[in-house]
Amino acid sequence: MKAYAKINIFLKIIGLDERGYHLLSSRFVLLDTLYDELFLSNEKQKKGFELISDFKCENNIIDKAYRLLCEEGFENELKEFFNKKSLKLIKNIPTCAGLGGGSSDAAAFLRLINEELNLKISKEKMLRLSVKLGSDLAFFLSGVKSANVKGCGEVIEKFDDELVPFELHFPNIACETAKVYEEFDKKVFDFSKALKDAQIYEKLNTKELLEYENLALNDLFKPCVRLYPKMSEFLETGYFLSGSGSSVFKAKI
């Protein structure tokens, strides 16, 4: 099963919720040319649930998705199934790059297991469960190509977009999302202006949005550059930032 990457055409931070989490308004677009691959295998190296991959990440989000399904009452089915099977992951999406790779992998895992084990988890329930795992999963589970995404990522509004070919660049810089948000919080920020801008951007298609200045579209670009000065090269040459970085993009001419 393919787990596609996404990019954020715009990302505005419009406030904080009662927990202190950042509230977003963003346009997510699925990248159908860049994806990880997940498949089931008879290869076993250890007992129980096993993720086989060149990608090494302890306590990764797929493990969390497995544990969540166990907590939701499917532990017996999962343990029996993975007594003889393993999950293989071929990682193509760069990590710490603002492309949602980990979230997409977890979403693909949930879909794969739901189908393979016939767990009969409805799409609505799957979306509710996804919020417990991460903010981007709901988009990847929604099945839409382009959407306005709001809240902490759980509100998905399909958007009839006019997409353009993208020139993508993946700097060899690992931008840690939590640190970028911490850097963002160090500066005074006008949430009300960001909300007004977001209300305009939500109505525009991707082609129209990419006519704006790069800094105007992503509120995390400045803190990303402050933390990772090498990212200034892409800011100055007109690239747009996806998520908290480090992936950048332009409309391909």
Q: Is 175 annotated as a binding residue?
A: no
The token pair that represents 5 in the structure block: 């990457």
Contact by Cβ (8 Å): 29, 7: yes
100 appears as a binding residue in the annotation: yes
Secondary structure of residue 107 in the 3-state scheme? helix
Beta-strand (E) ranges in 93-222? 146-151, 155-158, 166-169
101 carries a ligand binding annotation:
yes
103 annotated binding-site participant = yes
107 annotated to a ligand binding site: no
E strand map for 42-125: 51-53, 86-90
Q: Nearest-CA neighbor of 119 among 80, 156, 171?
A: 80
**Is 219 considered catalytic here?**
no
Instruction: Please tell me which residue in 6, 91, 150, 250 is annotated as part of the active site.
Output: 6
73 marked ligand binding residue: no
95 is in an annotated binding site: yes
Q: Among this protein's residues, is 250 annotated catalytic?
A: no
Identify the active-site residue in 36, 105, 136, 161.
136
**Which pair of structure tokens corresponds to residue 24?**
């977003």
Which DSSP state fits 229? G
The answer on whether 122 is annotated among ligand-binding residues is no
Residue stretches of the annotated binding site for ATP: 94-104
Catalytic positions are 6, 136
